Chains A and B, each alone.
Chain A
Amino acid sequence: MNAPSPTPTKKYDLSFARWVYDNIDGGDRMALCMQCGTCSGSCPIGTQMDHGPRKLFMMIRAGMKEAVLTSNTLWNCVSCYNCVVRCPRKVPVAYILHDLATVAVREGYAEARNSDNARFAKAFWWSAAKYGRTDERLVTGKYYFSFGIGEGYKRGMANLPIAMGMIKTKRMHLGMPHKCSNTGELHKILAKAAEIEARDHGKQG
């Protein structure tokens, strides 16, 4: 983790690009990006992104750290891998976006932006890491209440009819959350993974 990204004392931080090249998963390949725009052109979510991967990468080069880490591009990527498959320079675009998202969470940019997707991703990971499964009620609940008690209640009530319908068609269950058979092992595995990650890459938030 640990090499924190350079602090944005100014809007354009010339050391940011090299930091990304050296520290982000796939960043070394990003150095080869030739700005062809195939990624942004191939992205099914491109119209829902404030920048699109090509431009985001150029912004990294220009040292626009804050703009990059608060961009919704990081969160709106749906991991379809169109860009990864098509990039003529073999830049693993989606990995880079995901790793940048991690940095955004770690350094508080995601929070600052109050990103829905970031909150949802956190709730999702919480459930997956805890039970080895995602429990719809808990993930949604955690996500809703991350906006505060009142807001969480409001969102919960608004979605109640959907939840009821899902229960009726056995799409959601009541009772204890489902777990994988040996959560103790899972937790050990995850702890080990975090350790390796920290040792080998010095990153991952």
Chain B
Amino acid sequence: MTERKTGIYLCGGCGIGEAIDVAALEGVAKKEFKLDSKTHACLCGDDGVAMIRADLEAGINQVAIAACSSRVMTDRFGFEPIQVLRADLREKVIWSHPANHEDTQALAEDSVRMVLTMATKVKAPEPYVEGEWSSRILVMGGGVTGLAAAAQAAALGHEVLLLERSDRLGGRALDSSKRLPHRPPYAQPAANDIGDLVASVTGNAKITARLGCTVTQTSGMPGRFVVNLSDGSVETVGAIVVATGWRPYDASKLGHLGYGASPDVVTGVELEGMLKAGKVTRKSNGAPVKSVAFVQCAGSRDPDHLPYCSSICCATSLKQALELIEAEPATNAYVVYEEMRTPGVMEELYRTAQAAGVIFMKGKVKTVGADLTVTVADELIGEDIPLAGLDMVVLATGMVPNSTNTDAPSPAEGAEQLAGDIDPEVPFPVAGYCGDAPAAHAKRPQAAPEGGSLLNLQYRQGPHLPVLHDGFADSHYICFPYETRRTGIYTAGPVRRPMDWAEAAEDASGAVLKAVQAVRSASAGAALHPRVGDLSFPKINLNQCTKCKRCTVECPFGAIDEDEQTYPIVNATRCRRCGTCMGACPVRTISFDNYSVDMLSSMIKAVKVPDEFSGKPRILIMACENDAIPALDMAGIKRNQWSAHVRILPVRCLGSVSLLCISDALSVGYDGVMMMGCKPGDDYQCHFVKGSAMAAERLSKVGETLKSMMLEPERVTQAEASIADADRLPKVIDAFVEQITAIGFNPFKGF
């Protein structure tokens, strides 16, 4: 390896030069690190950047910059492929602390010490690019979502393999009458145009569709998944879009709503079929349907059935009532609802239905008699109202995701993997709240959904695509849609959350863009969400590995398998570079080219910890780069102030923090340690899904160790941070500093 030559640049602009003594920082580099540095009055200006470029020409091969936050000016300070290390003197130093104060100066000097220490511990990452890569995309499911996904992927130039388990393309849309409105003015049911979508796919040379075909086994990793199909063939694909859709909730479980008591109590799906056939009659006697009641939330939003809102049944009932009235204007149509939920612009359809004379009643259905009398506990009148003399009762049953293969038996092993393994085992309190803290996170019990695995993944962590408590394939609803916990495999449509036709088609585009990114990044050795473009990947020194399996178990993405001798093997393109494996490894033998336990520990130790006679505590905050660091930057931008006694060390994810970092900090005299990261649990905000939960779990075991060292367990805590916490986090920090000050100095100080 060539000798490391780091160019060090300090910026005096943006008020840094006025608020701290930058020359003293140069002194730190010179005296403590024997390194020359250059200060510029405006480093990000053309002149400053030209200065760095000139040094790069002259042979420096690493750049360390102490200026603004690493999250800004990345274009100005981007010198690919040279690695750039940043220390923040602006947002988290001068903007958040008083100018020309000795504590602020000490903070700035420590920031320089940390980045210069980092510079000695990292090297530019060498990406994993071995072997052949496929850019073909596998789409599972030939319904609206799958068809739209196939068409989109083909439009982006990718070969597509489209699998459909039944013998026809089009899915449930084929059995529907009209579809929900999907373009302005959104006021009327729209024509069913599934035929056009099917035709656009079957006529596309880039798409190979196989009917009656399912996946029997999947191995490999993004860029080269090897997929065995039920027709006996074996295919290699780069990424997978799971668009397996939904099925209606089993109405036979809805006896309390009259299902089964009379043939004239039907489900919304059954009525849809009658509308499609153009003949809606009473099943019992073939008589016309002159009055009908729709029972909303039939099984949905009911803790005994589906705990969630299925999102489409309200609009669907509106559409069906309108279709009935269109066919026979005198039809008396009642819709009994608890809340009318018309997401998006579907409100317009609601208005149309009202204007057409559909009668709405708000309340809960108490009983549905065999004579079709629907008794409603009406909330707006405050009485039980019997709707009698109806010809038909329609139960608006909800959506169940096809996150498993219901045709196949549950796997003998690994099914438990499906059941919310996202919760930390032990409930733990949420630290870092000023005022009322939310309830402690507790594990929510959940049964594994029925059925076999869709993909039958040959992963160490089991065959399934992980699901959340409600059985939907795990993909964060808001922050990270489509992402599953298996890199390169994306979910789209109702398999990830309830949605209608138009939304599903849009969802397909999102998932396809992810899949395209996955195949392109795989061949470049670059990471995907959330560390997009990161070229580092975990390397395991097997000589030291004790085969403890922590890494293979804790990796949130199932990236690490085991070889015949049960040694861990990293599947590089499955990895999202969170470092949870690194934080888990008890012998610290997992590291990245530019990120390691040694690097973190050295940076922690590089800080000058004042002795107890100074009266100044020193507190370490290991803050997640995804939300906590941006929130702290934002706090700085808002000029929110916090204690200058803390030292902030950005980490990839709390999951990457080894307990060793904490014990190192305490042994060199830090008085307290705070881990600041995203919300763990089944409603996680952790960008690596389980990283902060893993950190919490590890932390729950630290208390005993601290006690055995005669240290107060309160010296170490975990705080939740979200991207919007710019005003809260400074208070959280100050409260912790106060708490630590009250406990007193770390007795290990100075040893």
B332: chain A residues at CB < 8 Å are 14-15, 17-18
CB atoms of A28 and B355 under 8 A apart: yes
CB atoms of A35 and B359 under 8 A apart: no
Whether A31 sits at the interface, judged by CB under 8 Å, is yes
B745: chain A residues at CB < 8 Å are none
CB atoms of A61 and B360 under 8 A apart: yes
Residue of A nearest to B331 (CB): A18
- Of B330, B334, B354, B378, the residue contacting A14 (CB under 8 A) is B334
- Of A12, A18, A59, the residue contacting B359 (CB under 8 A) is A18
- Of A12, A28, A31, the residue contacting B387 (CB under 8 A) is A12
CB atoms of A62 and B361 under 8 A apart: yes
What's the least CB distance linking B735 to chain A, in Å?
44
Whether A21 sits at the interface, judged by CB under 8 Å, is yes
Whether A193 sits at the interface, judged by CB under 8 Å, is no
- Classify the secondary structure of A's interface with B: loop
B389: chain A residues at CB < 8 Å are 14
Among residues 25 to 61 in chain A, which have CB atoms less than 8 Å away from a CB atom of chain B?
A: 28, 31-35, 54-55, 58-59, 61
B334: chain A residues at CB < 8 Å are 14
A35: chain B residues at CB < 8 Å are 362, 380
CB atoms of A32 and B355 under 8 A apart: yes
Whether A168 sits at the interface, judged by CB under 8 Å, is no
Interface centre among A12, A21, A54, A62 (most CB of B within 10 A): A62
Bound state CA distance, A22 and B355, in angstroms? 11
A14: chain B residues at CB < 8 Å are 291, 332, 334, 387-390
What's the least CB distance linking A20 to chain B, in Å?
10
B360: chain A residues at CB < 8 Å are 61
CB atoms of A58 and B380 under 8 A apart: yes
What's the least CB distance linking B376 to chain A, in Å?
8
Whether A171 sits at the interface, judged by CB under 8 Å, is no
Residue of A nearest to B383 (CB): A62
B351: chain A residues at CB < 8 Å are 32
Whether A10 sits at the interface, judged by CB under 8 Å, is yes
What's the least CB distance linking A33 to chain B, in Å?
8
- Of A22, A31, A32, A62, the residue contacting B385 (CB under 8 A) is A62
A58: chain B residues at CB < 8 Å are 361, 378, 380-381
Whether B610 sits at the interface, judged by CB under 8 Å, is no
What's the least CB distance linking A58 to chain B, in Å?
4
CB atoms of A62 and B378 under 8 A apart: yes
- Of A12, A22, A32, A64, the residue contacting B354 (CB under 8 A) is A32
- Of B357, B362, B385, the residue contacting A12 (CB under 8 A) is B385
Q: How many residues of A contact B (CB 8 A)?
A: 22
Bound state CA distance, A115 and B310, in angstroms? 49
What's the least CB distance linking A11 to chain B, in Å?
9
Residue of A nearest to B373 (CB): A12
CB atoms of B291 and A59 under 8 A apart: no
Bound state CA distance, A18 and B359, in angstroms? 8
CB atoms of A18 and B388 under 8 A apart: no
B387: chain A residues at CB < 8 Å are 12, 14, 63
What's the least CB distance linking B161 to chain A, in Å?
49
What's the least CB distance linking A142 to chain B, in Å?
37
What's the least CB distance linking A87 to chain B, in Å?
13
Whether B414 sits at the interface, judged by CB under 8 Å, is no
CB atoms of B381 and A31 under 8 A apart: no
CB atoms of B380 and A55 under 8 A apart: yes
Whether B386 sits at the interface, judged by CB under 8 Å, is yes
Interface centre among A15, A33, A63 (most CB of B within 10 A): A63
Bound state CA distance, A120 and B388, in angstroms? 38
- Of A18, A55, A62, A63, the residue contacting B357 (CB under 8 A) is A18
Residue of B nearest to A33 (CB): B354
Bound state CA distance, A135 and B170, in angstroms? 76
Residue of A nearest to B387 (CB): A14
Residue of A nearest to B380 (CB): A58
A12: chain B residues at CB < 8 Å are 385-388
A22: chain B residues at CB < 8 Å are 357
Interface centre among A12, A14, A35, A63 (most CB of B within 10 A): A14
B385: chain A residues at CB < 8 Å are 12, 62-64
A59: chain B residues at CB < 8 Å are 381
B359: chain A residues at CB < 8 Å are 17-18, 61
Interface centre among A22, A31, A33, A55 (most CB of B within 10 A): A31
Bound state CA distance, A31 and B355, in angstroms? 6
A33: chain B residues at CB < 8 Å are 354
B388: chain A residues at CB < 8 Å are 10, 12, 14
Bound state CA distance, A39 and B585, in angstroms? 67
Residue of B nearest to A22 (CB): B357
What's the least CB distance linking A29 to chain B, in Å?
9
Residue of A nearest to B376 (CB): A62
A49-83: CB near B (< 8 Å → 1, else 0) gives 00000110011011110000000000000000000
Among residues 484 to 504 in chain B, which have CB atoms less than 8 Å away from a CB atom of chain A?
A: none
Bound state CA distance, A22 and B351, in angstroms? 17
Among residues 53 to 112 in chain B, which have CB atoms less than 8 Å away from a CB atom of chain A?
A: none
- Of B330, B355, B381, B390, the residue contacting A55 (CB under 8 A) is B381
Residue of B nearest to A57 (CB): B380
Bound state CA distance, A14 and B388, in angstroms? 8
B354: chain A residues at CB < 8 Å are 31-34
CB atoms of A31 and B380 under 8 A apart: no
Instruction: Answer whether A31 and B378 are a contact pair too, CB < 8 Å, given A14-B291, A15-B332, A62-B385.
Output: no
B294-335: CB near A (< 8 Å → 1, else 0) gives 000000000000000000000000000000000000101010
What's the least CB distance linking B538 to chain A, in Å?
57
What's the least CB distance linking B318 to chain A, in Å?
13
What's the least CB distance linking B294 to chain A, in Å?
14
Bound state CA distance, A58 and B376, in angstroms? 13
Residue of B nearest to A28 (CB): B355
Residue of A nearest to B362 (CB): A35
Bound state CA distance, A14 and B354, in angstroms? 16
CB atoms of B357 and A31 under 8 A apart: yes
A34: chain B residues at CB < 8 Å are 354
B291: chain A residues at CB < 8 Å are 14
What are 30 A-B contacts defined by CB distance under 8 Å?
A12-B385, A12-B387, A12-B388, A14-B334, A14-B387, A14-B388, A14-B390, A17-B332, A18-B330, A31-B354, A31-B355, A31-B356, A32-B354, A32-B355, A34-B354, A35-B362, A35-B380, A54-B380, A55-B380, A55-B381, A58-B361, A58-B381, A59-B381, A61-B359, A62-B378, A62-B383, A62-B385, A63-B387, A64-B381, A64-B385
Binding site for B on A (CB under 8 A): 10, 12, 14-15, 17-18, 21-22, 28, 31-35, 54-55, 58-59, 61-64
What 7 pairs between A and B have smallest CB-CB spacing? A58-B380, A62-B385, A32-B354, A17-B359, A61-B359, A21-B357, A58-B381
| Besides A12-B386, A34-B354, 13 new A-B residue pairs in contact (Cβ under 8 A), listed by A number | A12-B387, A14-B334, A17-B359, A28-B355, A31-B354, A32-B355, A33-B354, A55-B380, A55-B381, A58-B378, A59-B381, A61-B360, A62-B385
